[in-house]
Amino acid sequence: MSELHRYFDGRTARPRKVLLAIGPTGVAIRDEDGAPLASWPYSHLRVADQNAVSGAYVLRLEPDQAARLEVGAGADLETLLTQRPELKRWRARERSGLAKGFAKWGAVGVAVCLALYFGWTRASILIASWIPASWEERIGQQVENAWFPERERCSGAGGLRALEALGKRISPGEEVKLFVVKERDPNAFAMPGRRIVVFSGLIDRARSPEMLAGVIAHEMGHVEYHHPMRGLVHQMGLGAVLTLIFGDSSLAGVGQLALVLSYSRDMEREADQRGIELLQQAGIRADGMSAFFEIIKKDVEKNILHDLPEFLSTHPDLDARIAATRQPATGAPAMSDADWQLVRKVCDSK
């Protein structure tokens, strides 16, 4: 056998003319004078490429050290392929390797996404707790100005005073800014920077001041647990990842998305519980919360309301939440009748 092949040792670019000895366990590479240059065992032998024109096989070693052996079409190649027929199927093997690689990376990708999604909930709690109160205050101010500008807020002085007093009774330790806007939906939000906004539709739909107190106590729960900031950070992170995957890199878009405040089921449950506790500590009749949830539930069932308001937005376990917040009808009223009438007219002066 005196077929000559080309060998690159991976150190210089010189192609060496080599003789091959194709044995049972590997290929011995010798120079033209028969001096051994390298010995490649089959266990580490791979096909790097195949010359599209000459049909020569380009072989390499695993792990790849850049050395290449080009075995031209001929008797040696025949012998090698008889000895190791799997080399012929290198493209198919490469494809299956690719599929495996893709599957592996796909699994890594899914794992990273899951870790991000679940880990992110925890991370966002941590990040939210790092944000200084003064920053949060300014964020709250911006959200407030953007969504509920001063001129849209209700200004009935007596009603606002009564609401403020109710807020103080429910949560004496927190400096919370409470305001009312004229909107038909029975809705209320907690916003960053210790702000609670109540829609006039909520006051209209509440049959007693205790029902209103129930919803306010629930929002106070959100405020105490820092939920608005947590939700904001959480949304921002998901938004950032989504914009990146879908190829839009404008930070502004991420910011817009982040303003959609929404809470997880756990957060709602926490707020319910804390709300009830606050009402009990204040000695206020605590059966208003579940009673009001029930009203809203019926409204939705009767199609009077199309969507659940923010504070009830975790639809599937609504019944569970009503059951969990059910309280005896004992305790002091939330406010006097006179105050309640003022609260009901808080938006009339607009």
Partner 1 sequence: MNDRGMVATAGSWPGGGETVQKLEYDGTIGALYWIFIKNLLLNIVTLSFYRFWGKTNIRRYAWSHTSLQGQRFEYTGRGGELFAGFLIVVVFYAVAAILLNIAILSAGEIAGVIGQFGGLVLIVYFIFVAQYAAQNYRLTRTLWSGIRGGMTGSAWRYGIKAFLFMLLNAITLNLAAPWTTLRLVEDRFNHSYFGNAKASLQASAGPLYLTFILGFVFTIVGMIVVALIAGGVAYAIIMAFDMMPLIEEFQRASENGIPIELTEDQKGQLALLIFAAAIIFFLGLALLAIIAFAPYVAAMFRTIANNLQLAELRFSSAVTAGNYISLWFGNILIVALTLGIGFPIAVHRSIRFFVDRVTIHGEVDVDRLQQSSLERPKFGEGLLEAFDPGFI
Q: Minimum distance between the CB of residue 68 and partner 1, rounded to whole angstroms?
A: 5
Q: Under a CB-based contact definition with an 8 Å cutoff, are residues 233 and 127 in contact?
A: yes
CB of 240 within 8 A of CB of 253?
Answer: no
108, with CB counted inside 10 A (0-12, 13-18, 19+), is exposed
Which residue's CB is nearer to partner 1, number 109 or number 172? 109
Q: Is 122 in the site for partner 1 (CB under 8 A)?
A: no
Interface positions, 214-233, toward partner 1 (CB under 8 A): 232-233
Residues 6 or more apart whose Cβ sits within 8 Å of residue 86: 93
Nearest alpha carbon to residue 199 among 129, 245, 236, 148: 148
Counting residues that bind partner 1 (by CB under 8 A) gives 53
Residues in 9-68 at the binding interface with partner 1, rule: CB under 8 A: 9-15, 48-49, 51-53, 58, 64, 66-68
Q: Does 149 bind partner 1 (CB under 8 A)?
A: no
- Check binding of 331 to partner 1 (CB under 8 A): no
176 is a contact residue toward partner 1 (CB under 8 A) = no
Q: Which stretch binds partner 1 (CB under 8 A): 27-35, 105-113, 318-326, 333-341?
A: 105-113
Find where tokens 């107190």 sit.
213
Residue 137 beta carbon to partner 1: minimum distance, rounded to whole angstroms: 8
Tokens linked to 226: 């820092």
- Site mask for partner 1 (CB under 8 A), range 240-259, x = bound: xx-xxx-x-x-xx-xx--x-
The rounded distance, in Å, linking the Cα atoms of 307 and 235 is 21
- Among 73, 105, 172, 307, the residue binding partner 1 under the rule CB under 8 A is 105
Please confirm whether the linkage preceding 316 is cis (ω < 30° from 0).
Answer: no
Question: Residue 139 carries which side chain, given as an amino acid letter?
Answer: I
Q: How far is the CB of 177 from partner 1 (least distance, A)?
A: 17
Q: What are the C-alpha distances in Å from 115 to residues 60, 189, 284?
A: 38, 29, 42
Beta bridge partners of 5: 18
Confirm if 224 and 274 have CB atoms less than 8 A apart.
Answer: yes
User: With binding defined as CB under 8 A, does residue 127 bind partner 1?
Assistant: yes
By CB under 8 A, name the binding residues for partner 1: 8-15, 48-49, 51-53, 58, 64, 66-68, 98, 101-102, 104-106, 108-109, 112, 116, 127, 131, 134-136, 138-139, 142, 232-233, 236-237, 239-241, 243-245, 247, 249, 251-252, 254-255, 258
